[in-house]
A and B are shown apart, each in its own frame.
Chain A
Amino acid sequence: MNRFKAALRTPWFGALLAIVVLLAVNTIKDPGYLAIGTNQTTGMMSGNLLDILRISAPIIMISLGMTFVIATEGIDLSVGSMMAIGGAVAMQTLSSINQPSSVTAMLTAIGLALLLAFVLGTVNGILVAVVGLQPFITTLVMMMAARGIARVITGGQNTNARNGPFNQLATGQILGIPTGFVLAIGIVVLVALLMRRTALGLMIESIGINPHASRLAGIRPRPILIAVYALAAVLAAIGGLFTVAEVMTVNPSSTGNLMELDAILAVVIGGTSLAGGKFSILGSTAGALLIATLNKTVVFLGVPSAATPAFKGVVIIILVLLQSDRVRSLLKRRTKSPTTPSTPTAELESQEALA
């Protein structure tokens, strides 16, 4: 019973609950929504649930990277553009090699895409950690610059390519589950092991709480910060690969456009605080699944897809306000505590704002 109560209080529980509610709404509209059947011609499993898993793969990837950046009290606004970089490099490489069934071509394309993303992510990390620029300015510049680079790579046009194995990344299935989703979960597990079985995750959290104190405690923030931004860029590029593999075409202007909000949203839903200092990989993954369900539901219910960013904007405003409210009520309970000297002024400010 206690364990059940603990599960209720975890941040990802809310996300799972929301997914169930959304699926229930869809099922009410169409009782056959949850059905999973097999496609007669290809022999593959098909169904809305599998579709949701398939489109969730890129979101899981960018949210995973964003989780660690936010845990260091940073932000990465360039993940959407990194998706475009990943897609653009892969498509351009595949179309210039032009071997529709070659696995080597696929591996080359993936390798080059991840390499460029790694370089750009490292640039982000160096600018934040070594030069000391604010993360959002650094990554805002990178968001613009990386999209520009993606346009330069493809010559400003949509690039198509044909490569069977690469296409399989998105459209293939392993035991009926979309390959992209399986790969994404595999990467999540690998990264989670890396973070939680080594001290790395703890170090990231300590930098998010207080970089100066963690330095005094013997943690060197610079290499860790650089690694975090590089990891976020590489994971975002993988997300871009999943996205372009589905349609085998990249549009450097729209691939991954506005996806940074999806990533931030997933991370915040998953209970990682925007103030840094803690992260939940499971929570972010659940958040990403919720966003995928939401995207699919919006289309299914016939709401114009142009409305989705506005809707997500409202959701993130509400979530952020809830987070701050919780902080404020906590602060109020400990008004006399010496660790929160800012409370009286904060209250004063809010009274003034009301007046």
Chain B
Amino acid sequence: MTASPTVTDAPTPTPKEPEAQESRGAGLARLWQRGQGFLPTLIALALLLGMLIYAQVAYGRVFHAGTMSDLLVGAAPMLILAVGMTIVIISAGIDLSVGAVVAFSSVAGVMIMGTGVNGWLGLLIMVALGALFGLVAGVMVQTFNVQPFIATLAMMFLARGLASMLTTDVVRAPEDSPFGWLATKWKLYDGPKVNDFTVTPGLVIAVLVVVGAVFFMHRTRMGRTVYGIGESAASAQLMGLPVARTRIWIYIMSGACSGLAAVVYTASVQGSARNVTGLGWELDAIAAVVIGGTLLTGGAGYVLGSVIGVMVLQVMRLIITKDGTIDPQYLTIITGAVLLVFVLVQRVLARKGRER
């Protein structure tokens, strides 16, 4: 369809010409529109690279295997949370309970292990507890038609309150718990001095979750249904898609991701858990998802975009710590501001798309 049509269409009567032109124009427009869908993600990618290069120039030692692996390992819990949040937001919902569920799940899991339950079973229970919160939220949203943010806000308070009821102190997992293994460092690349590229099993879990979610969203029927629900739940219902079942599963998955994030996070802090863990993580997760190009109104977005979003936040944190002159108190303000900017960019793009 590049140069050949002009040659073959040359003898045809003129009235056909504009039609061909039009279809090519429509094709270009479609390409442009598809590109537009990627545009926020590309902006985020450019921002990420820009910040990395800035950090390298300003502070040095950023494009080092050691720094990079620290960044990735530190991002593992948030990666898992962001994956769950992406699925929820694509379905035009929201999950405000993730941070509180992480707190409850880690405190409960550590305490259960403390009673002598097998550590691996304890990890499973942690994930299951997260999924249970998701199930309750999902049933409220789907069966009782409660707005997602109200349902998950209630779950947030419930989970935070239950965690505080269990303990308000720091609890520690037994010495031989699997948390120790989950935090072991596997050296993939042995650089000079401390410049090693290391990964932890926690990071491997996060990567597996991301890969699994990409497969789920783009290669399974339920994944397509999630996009359909986000675009219009009523249309999806009329098309015969299993809206009710899918929507409940979406929240269960988000809850299970919170439970898994609790496992990985608790491992990264040597098996200690507190009831105040995860304050404000819901904002970080939402910010990562939105920065990564997922529409807050649902129906469009990519899991991989959210991975970029998480890394943007992570590098931002790195710059703020390396800089040293910025008060860490400003971190939530900056995260909020970045989230706001990206939401505004989405609004502008969406408005342009409608005018077209």
A-side interface residues toward B, CB under 8 Å? 75, 77, 127, 131-134, 136-137, 140-142, 144-145, 147-149, 151-152, 156, 258, 261, 264, 274, 304, 306-314, 316-317, 320-321, 324-325, 327-328, 342, 345-346, 348-350, 352-354
Note all chain B residues with C-beta closer than 8 A to A77.
153
* Complex alpha-carbon distance, A348 and B245, angstroms: 12
Q: Which of B94, B165, B244 contacts A349 (CB 8 A)?
A: B244
* Complex alpha-carbon distance, A75 and B154, angstroms: 14
Digit string of B56-99 for contact with A (CB within 8 Å is 1, else 0)?
A: 00000000000000000000000000000000000000101000
CB distance B330 to A327 under 8 Å?
A: no
Note all chain B residues with C-beta closer than 8 A to A274.
147, 150
B283 → A minimal CB distance (Å): 5
* Complex alpha-carbon distance, A313 and B163, angstroms: 13
Q: Interface size of B by Cβ–Cβ distance < 8 Å?
A: 56
B-side interface residues toward A, CB under 8 Å? 94, 96, 136, 139-140, 142-147, 149-151, 153-162, 164-165, 168, 234, 237-238, 242-245, 248, 275, 280, 282-283, 286, 296-297, 327, 329-333, 335-337, 339-340, 343-344, 347
CB distance A349 to B142 under 8 Å?
A: yes
CB distance B161 to A313 under 8 Å?
A: yes
CB distance A141 to B329 under 8 Å?
A: no
Most A CB within 10 A of own CB, among B146, B238, B242: B146
Q: Return 21 A-B CB contacts under 8 Å, by A number.
A: A133-B343, A133-B344, A141-B283, A144-B283, A148-B329, A152-B330, A258-B157, A261-B157, A264-B150, A310-B162, A313-B155, A313-B158, A313-B161, A320-B151, A321-B140, A321-B144, A327-B145, A345-B234, A345-B238, A353-B139, A353-B244
B279 → A minimal CB distance (Å): 9
Give the 8 A-B CB pairs with smallest separation, nearest first. Answer: A310-B161, A313-B158, A306-B164, A309-B161, A313-B157, A148-B333, A145-B336, A352-B244
CB distance B336 to A148 under 8 Å?
A: yes
CB distance B145 to A346 under 8 Å?
A: yes
Closest to B333 in A: A148
B40 → A minimal CB distance (Å): 15
* Complex alpha-carbon distance, A346 and B234, angstroms: 10
Q: Which of A142, A320, A346 contacts B146 (CB 8 A)?
A: A320
Contacts A310-B158, A313-B161, A317-B140; A141 near B146 (Cβ below 8 A): no
CB distance A144 to B336 under 8 Å?
A: yes
B269 → A minimal CB distance (Å): 20
Note all chain A residues with C-beta closer than 8 A to B330.
148, 152
A138 → B minimal CB distance (Å): 8
CB distance B327 to A144 under 8 Å?
A: no
* Complex alpha-carbon distance, A147 and B164, angstroms: 21
* Complex alpha-carbon distance, A335 and B242, angstroms: 23
- New A-B pairs, 20, CB < 8 Å, besides A308-B161, A312-B157: A77-B153, A131-B344, A136-B149, A141-B340, A145-B332, A145-B336, A148-B331, A148-B332, A156-B329, A258-B157, A261-B154, A261-B157, A264-B153, A306-B164, A306-B275, A307-B164, A309-B164, A312-B161, A349-B143, A352-B243
CB distance A320 to B140 under 8 Å?
A: yes
B102 → A minimal CB distance (Å): 16
B235 → A minimal CB distance (Å): 11
A17 → B minimal CB distance (Å): 23
A257 → B minimal CB distance (Å): 9
Q: Which of A137, A321, A345 contacts B237 (CB 8 A)?
A: A345
B101 → A minimal CB distance (Å): 12
* Complex alpha-carbon distance, A258 and B96, angstroms: 13
* Complex alpha-carbon distance, A261 and B165, angstroms: 18
Most A CB within 10 A of own CB, among B149, B156, B245, B282: B149
* Complex alpha-carbon distance, A316 and B339, angstroms: 29
A89 → B minimal CB distance (Å): 16
CB distance B329 to A152 under 8 Å?
A: yes
